[in-house]
Amino acid sequence: MNKMSVKDLKDLKGKKVLVRCDFNVPMKDGVITDENRILGALPTIKYLLEKGARVTLCSHMGKPHSIFSDEVKLNKKDLKKVEDGETTAEAIIEKAKKDEPKKLTLAPVAKRLSELLDGKVKFAKDVIGPDATAKRDALKDGEAVLLENLRFHWEEEKKDEKFCKALAHDAEIYVNDAFGTAHRSHASTAAIVEYGIIKTAVCGFLIEKELEVMADTLENPKRPFVAILGGAKVSDKLNVISNLLEKCDTLIIGGGMAYTFLKAKGCEVGKSLLDEEKIGYCKEMIEKAESAGKELLLPVDTVVTDRFPDPIDAEIDTETVACDKIPADKMGMDIGPETCKLYASRIAKAKSVIWNGPMGVFENPTLAKGTIAVAKALADVYGKCTTIIGGGDSAAAVQQLGFADKMTHISTGGGASLELFEGKILPGIACLNDKK
């Protein structure tokens, strides 16, 4: 994808730049528990500050919808309190409206950014209000301000044009460095450029790397090209499966979605997760692979249990059976050892691999062996093969298992990666200026 990046901009000194970041970081009691997304944004921010730009940073945090909606779904714990007469649904909603701005504020992110950037980042307590306006107007060359959570305004997700104009303020340049939201068509991710409010629009270093590695691998892969898909449901990855079958040499299927494919081949799958409505689609994909001369690999053995673990990391009894001999009262929860060997053998021969979705219930130590085996196989080909982890659970698994430094690229966006794998044009990328 031939899009302009911050490197293509000339003479940034004194220029007012609006940067869309992804600071939607996990927090507990106001403390950031994983700052990878903050660290990922630093190269772009540092570059702009060093060039003397006046930088406004913006991001969302969570989904604070109850601030402007009474249509709040209560969780089981809250429903029990209502049923027991301890409180009312209305009281819980009102409390959420007061608490969410405190829980989902970007203030801790601003504090951490200021520490990392020698105090050059201030925090605005609003997005388009008086504090944001004053602090943006007061910026000097090489300084930055982070606005409060964009989603505190309903207009962000509704692409409201008036909100876009206020968010742009007097910015001359727009930089998108939030790949995790590039598949969203919101005010700050696309509309602010689509409406023509800011005409110079480029990507930051983070998105540039995502496009260089992922998009280029999908379009011009070194072969053999192996794609690995896991996760729960076939319906979540319909277009991904079809598109990857046209591009890769081998498509490996694991996770809960494998059992619908096995059912399509005539295997009984017991109580395993099954997308009944997608059995026909799976048959079509099996036939598509055969007619195109592509290899579509399914598990040959599986780890089964008699129930889903509760809590998810609880100890649980398992047995390993062939995939055509799953007992009627058992459910498949992970790929078996023979499947691990089969999948690893294809990875070992590959020159390009993309992976999205775990092979089993990897949150449970007993049911994580398949996911570990795939991650290890990818680590083993480090330096000899381009290995791309498509965000989401796969990225979390690789990080948790300690293999992150043995991967060519770990995407910062699960949903965005999937849509890229589908062959879709992402709104947050499409709106950027093409290189001349």
Catalytic residues: 37, 233, 392, 415
Query: Mind giving me the DSSP string for 383-436?
Result: TTBEEEE-SHHHHHHHHHHT-GGGSSEE-S-HHHHHHHHHTPPPHHHHTSPBP-
Cα gap 24→26, rounded to integer Å: 7
Cα gap 1→430, rounded to integer Å: 9
H/E stretch holding 110 = helix 107-116
Is-contact 333 359, C-beta < 8 A?
Answer: no
Is-contact 404 39, C-beta < 8 A?
Answer: no
Sheet holding 121-123, edge to edge: 121-123, 144-146, 54-58, 16-20, 173-176, 200-203
Cα gap 423→20, rounded to integer Å: 23
**DSSP-assigned letter for residue 316:** -
Is-contact 371 354, C-beta < 8 A?
Answer: no
Q: First CA to last CA across the chain, in angstroms?
A: 13
Is-contact 149 104, C-beta < 8 A?
Answer: yes
Which has the closest alpha carbon to 123: 133, 115, 111?
111
Burial 143-153 (b: 16+ CB within 10 A, else e): bbbbbbbbbbb
The strand ranges marked E within 13-53 are: 16-20, 27-28, 31-32
Q: How many Cβ atoms sit within 10 Å of the Cβ of residue 9?
A: 18
Strand-strand pairing, 31-32 and 54-58: unpaired
